Amino acid sequence: QSVLTQPPSASGTPGQRVTMSCSGSSPNIGSNYVYWYQQLPGTAPKLLIYRNNQRPSGVPDRFSGSKSGTSASLAISGLRSEDEADYYCATWDDSLSGWVFGGGTKLTVL
């Protein structure tokens, strides 16, 4: 059981905009930055969004992050087939004194 809750799956068609959520609580998302990672099949995860809504260089602006209260969201616009992957949110948890991940959302591009 993950500390952060993500829907197990999401889907969209090419060109569509999809969003996925990450729900937490006061000691984690409510108090700290949220990070998002993309894991393509058979590969290591890759940093997608840092500090709630910042994109590392090289990450397309189709990807955006937001946070409100104890929840965060990742949005992908102009969906492409290569976006099909698992997406994980992560944050620091003050109560656990450690980094915690969501269970991941598997994105399918129909």
Partner 1 sequence: QVQLVQSGAEVKKPGASVQVSCKTSGYTFTGYHMHWVRQAPGQGLEWMGWINAKSGGTKYAQKFQGRVSMTRDTSITTAYMELSGLRSDDTAVFYCARGDSTGYYDPFDYWGQGTVVTVSS
Judged by the rule CB under 8 A, the positions of this chain that interact with partner 1 are 2, 33, 35, 37, 39, 44-47, 50-51, 56, 88, 90, 92, 96-104
Give least dist CB 60 to partner 1, A. 17
Q: Which helix (H) or strand (E) holds 62?
A: none
Please identify, using beta-carbon distances, which residue of 50 and 63 lies nearer to partner 1.
50
For partner 1, the closer CB: 11 or 95: 95
CA distance 110 to 101: 26
4: nearest Cα among 84, 63, 73: 73
Secondary structure letter of residue 28 according to DSSP = T
* Min separation Cβ 7 and partner 1, Å: 13
Give the Cα separation of 73 and 19 in Å (integer): 7
Task: Give whichever of 17 and 51 is closer to partner 1, judged by the CB atom.
Answer: 51
> Of 50 and 77, which has the nearer Cβ to partner 1?
50
Closest contact distance (angstroms) between CB of 100 and partner 1 is 7
Cα separations (Å) of 81 from 12, 16, 107?
10, 11, 10
